[in-house]
Amino acid sequence: MLRIAGGRVYDPANGIDGVVQDLCIDGGRVVGDVHGGRSIDASGMVILPGGVDIHTHVAGAALNFARGLTPENYRKAVPFLHGPERRAGLGGITPTTFATGYLYAAMGWTTVNEAAVPILSARHTHEELRDTPVVDKASLVLMANNEIVLDLLEADELEQAREVVAWLIWAAKCYGVKAVNPGGVAAWKWGKNASNLHEPIEGYSRVTPAKIIAGLAQIVDDLRLPHPLHIHCNNLGIPGNISTTLETMRVLDGHRAHLAHLQFHAYGGDGWGTMRSEASTLADYFNAHTSFSCDAGAILFGDAMTITADGPWQHLLHQLTGRKWGNVDVENETGCGIVPYVYKGHNLVNAVQWAAGLELLLLIKDPWRIFLTTDHPNGAGFWRYPELIRLLMDVEHRRDCLKKLPKRALRRTVLADLDRKYTLSDIAVVTSAGPARALGLTAKGHLGVGADADLAIYAQGPDGISFGRPRYVIKEGQVVVEDGEVRPASEGREFLVRPSYDEKIEEYLRPLFQKVYTMSFDNYPVEMERLTRPDVRACE
């Protein structure tokens, strides 16, 4: 039992905006009252629901490949790792699993969504999620380039495709469906991409990116998954991709969808020399179409690791930068590319990217539909979220940063004209309440009775709140961070879904596996025992 007494509570999901009140916790959940147990005096402090990262990359083979590409990071240690109960962890832009869990917790984030899991390596991903301490986890399975699904779309067998997708989600023990560069990753296996949404992709006569997007959105709706289709649009990172992003939303019309790392899809111009931010155009459309949510995918200057299933984009980035490049083929399902990267303030393209992420966060009016992310580690490490929070809350600071950008970049963004300032309540929405709602995690992102007792308590100094350095972090009612040090804690849960499907679909899949997979059908599904604390959520 725990009573947190006298803190100023920001709980936007329950309409509480800076009210001084006690919070009572029992059995890992928020309750109406407690008698006895520990009490924390939070007077003068601010309480926010624990952060929920709706789009991050923290586990799986691609991360290990990325670490292999940056051996210099093996010399970087991570703070917080004191005491015998905690494990060692390596730092750098792609921290190892233990360090990842500690770093998120130390920052006040208590739930993370691993946004890209190839089914073929899902077992490995779950092994790593299991070793990511403190935080609760969900994960999304990659589906927009799965050749079994694409073949069914080619034959217009949407119902059969739905059965296959449902079976695959359960086989991977994942929570939702991710579409990355629909059709483009499959085409990349032939050295091609899919840049026009309405042209058939390589190897198919009827499957277009639009057909994949609409088909998967329909399937996700039909399966009643708690989280809508999570989409990384075609033409990520390319000047002029605004037209593709708008067209993707038109194709999705009528369906719910979550658009990932929107900053990378908000560019105008017809080449690198003319690239500009089209965040205003994108925000206008987005504001008028309320079935969508998105996350910012903001960038910050400094080290990053670009790592995505979008193989063709990564090859282009490698050609543009001359930096190290890794490419992986995941048979029949997806691909992956990795390029270590550094965003620089004096680089025109990077400056436009920096501004575009902030513009989206400021121009999309409803904080319940845009969430704080850096597409970790693509735009910046997740531990830099506090820098973004400051840029959103402090207009003067934002303008000072803007002045340091190249003059040419300033003409390609409207950021200087924006004087919107986030409130603490807005911060609670974009970091927690909003992403929890978009993920359909009903006990997350708020502090009402029955909610998971996940929260961060911040001291208020003369300069305001030190985001990133909460005084306490509570996860499921346990004090997991106190005075900047991570305490031993129970492992986080893993959320997954079991959408309904006809078992007969296995009769269709088994011979296909015999024919085209190097792994046998019986070894393919991840066993439930791989997950330490599975939490199967209803599809309703």
* Cβ contact 113:138 at 8 Å: yes
Residue 310 makes contact with Zn ion by CB under 5 A: no
The residue sitting closest to Zn ion, measured at its beta carbon, is 375
Instruction: Report the distance separating Cα 411 and Cα 400, nearest Å.
Output: 16
- Which is closer to Zn ion, CB of 232 or CB of 276? 232
Residue 494 makes contact with Zn ion by CB under 5 A: no
* Cβ contact 457:465 at 8 Å: no
Minimum separation from the CB atom of position 309 to Zn ion (A): 9
Pinpoint the alpha helices (H) of 82-142. Answer: 97-107, 122-130
Q: Which DSSP helix (H) or strand (E) runs through 337?
A: strand 334-343
* Cβ contact 333:145 at 8 Å: yes
- Which is closer to Zn ion, CB of 300 or CB of 473? 300
Q: 427-466 mask for Zn ion (x: CB under 5 A)?
A: ----------------------------------------
- Which is closer to Zn ion, CB of 96 or CB of 113? 113
Minimum separation from the CB atom of position 76 to Zn ion (A): 22
Minimum separation from the CB atom of position 264 to Zn ion (A): 9
- With CB under 5 A as the contact rule, which of the stretches 109-117, 127-135, 211-219, 321-329 interacts with Zn ion? 109-117
Minimum separation from the CB atom of position 505 to Zn ion (A): 29
- Which is closer to Zn ion, CB of 306 or CB of 431? 306
Minimum separation from the CB atom of position 140 to Zn ion (A): 10
Residues 217-276 that bind Zn ion (CB under 5 A): none
Residue 375 makes contact with Zn ion by CB under 5 A: yes
Residues 131-170 that bind Zn ion (CB under 5 A): none
- Which is closer to Zn ion, CB of 269 or CB of 379? 379
- With CB under 5 A as the contact rule, which of the stretches 243-251, 284-292, 367-375, 531-539 interacts with Zn ion? 367-375
Minimum separation from the CB atom of position 377 to Zn ion (A): 9
* Buried residues in 96-126 as b, exposed as e (16+ CB within 10 A): bbbbbbbbbbbbbbbbbbbbbbbbbbbbbbb
* Cβ contact 216:179 at 8 Å: yes
- Which is closer to Zn ion, CB of 361 or CB of 455? 361
The gap between the terminal CA atoms of the chain, to the nearest Å, is 33
Q: How many helices (H) and strands (E) does the chain have?
A: 17, 25
* Cβ contact 537:444 at 8 Å: no
- Which is closer to Zn ion, CB of 115 or CB of 362? 115
- Which is closer to Zn ion, CB of 50 or CB of 297? 297
Q: Based on the number of CB atoms within 10 Å of its own CB, is 527 exposed (0-12), middle (13-18) or buried (19 or more)?
A: exposed
* CA–CA distances in Å: residue 105 to residues 185, 389, 419: 34, 17, 32
- With CB under 5 A as the contact rule, which of the stretches 108-116, 177-185, 217-225, 507-515 interacts with Zn ion? 108-116
- Which is closer to Zn ion, CB of 137 or CB of 487? 137
β-strand 370-371 against 292-295: which pairing, if any?
parallel
Chain position carrying tokens 């359960």: 170
Structure tokens at 445: 């992102």
Prior bond of 377 cis (ω within 30°): yes
Q: Which residues in this chain contact Zn ion in the complex, by CB under 5 A?
A: 115, 375
